[in-house]
């Protein structure tokens, strides 16, 4: 879609190709913010797991291998703040809290899916590339 190409200028050693068009829709700042929002250690995992349906705190914790209570709480709070999931407290003893993806969160998950698919499809290719790179 982009890549209108700059490579034709290679004959001139000093030519720095001008950027023909924007790489991303916006200019980096918003993207960084968005990546940070879900680029932390656990957000994507939590979103992926919640895709299967709502879960309560303990179930969520059990399904995210290795997460600490601290990080689980922080993660879901952030996601709730951004409107990606809802946190519902059922007044009972003992307390019960359920987390569920919002439509917004579900749509985000769908965009991730392409990425995860890519990672799955090309995992071998990547590891092979690493091996070649390391062997020199």
Partner DNA sequence: CTGTATCCTTCACGATACTG
Partner DNA sequence: CAGTATCGTGAAGGATACAG
Q: Contact positions toward DNA, by CB under 7 A?
A: 40-42, 56-59, 66-71, 73-74, 87, 89, 94-97
Q: From DNA, its own copies, none, which one binds at residue 88 (CB under 5 to 8 Å depending on kind)?
A: none
Provide φ and ψ at 68, rounded to 5°: -90, 160
Taking the complex as a whole, the smallest distance from the CB of residue 24 to DNA amounts, in Å, to 18
Q: From its own copies, DNA, none, which one binds at residue 35 (CB under 5 to 8 Å depending on kind)?
A: its own copies
Taking the complex as a whole, the smallest distance from the CB of residue 11 to DNA amounts, in Å, to 16
Q: From DNA, its own copies, none, which one binds at residue 112 (CB under 5 to 8 Å depending on kind)?
A: its own copies
DSSP letters along 26-70, please? S-SHHHHHHHHHH-SSSHHHHHHHHTT--EEHHHHHHHSTT--HH
Taking the complex as a whole, the smallest distance from the CB of residue 100 to DNA amounts, in Å, to 12
**Residue 30, exposed/middle/buried by CB under 10 A (0-12, 13-18, 19+)?**
exposed
Q: Helix-strand-coil percent breakdown of the chain, rounded to 5?
A: 55, 10, 35
- In terms of CB distance, is 8 or 70 closer to its own copies? 8
Taking the complex as a whole, the smallest distance from the CB of residue 128 to DNA amounts, in Å, to 22
Give how far the C-alpha of residue 122 lies from the chain's centroid of Cα atoms, to the nearest Å: 17
């Amino acid at each position: 879609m982009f890549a209108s190409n700059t490579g034709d200028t290679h004959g001139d050693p000093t030519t720095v190709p001008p950027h023909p068009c924007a790489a991303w829709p916006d200019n980096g700042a918003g993207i960084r913010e968005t990546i940070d929002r879900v680029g932390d250690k656990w957000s994507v995992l939590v979103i992926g797991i919640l895709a299967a349906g709502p879960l309560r705190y303990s179930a969520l914790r059990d399904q995210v291998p290795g997460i600490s209570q601290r990080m689980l709480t922080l993660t879901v709070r952030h996601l709730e703040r951004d409107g990606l999931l809802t946190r519902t407290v059922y007044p009972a003893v003992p307390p019960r809290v359920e987390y569920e993806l919002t439509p917004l969160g579900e749509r985000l998950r769908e965009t991730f899916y392409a990425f995860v698919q890519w990672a799955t499809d090309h995992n071998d290719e990547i590891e092979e590339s690493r091996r070649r790179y390391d062997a020199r």
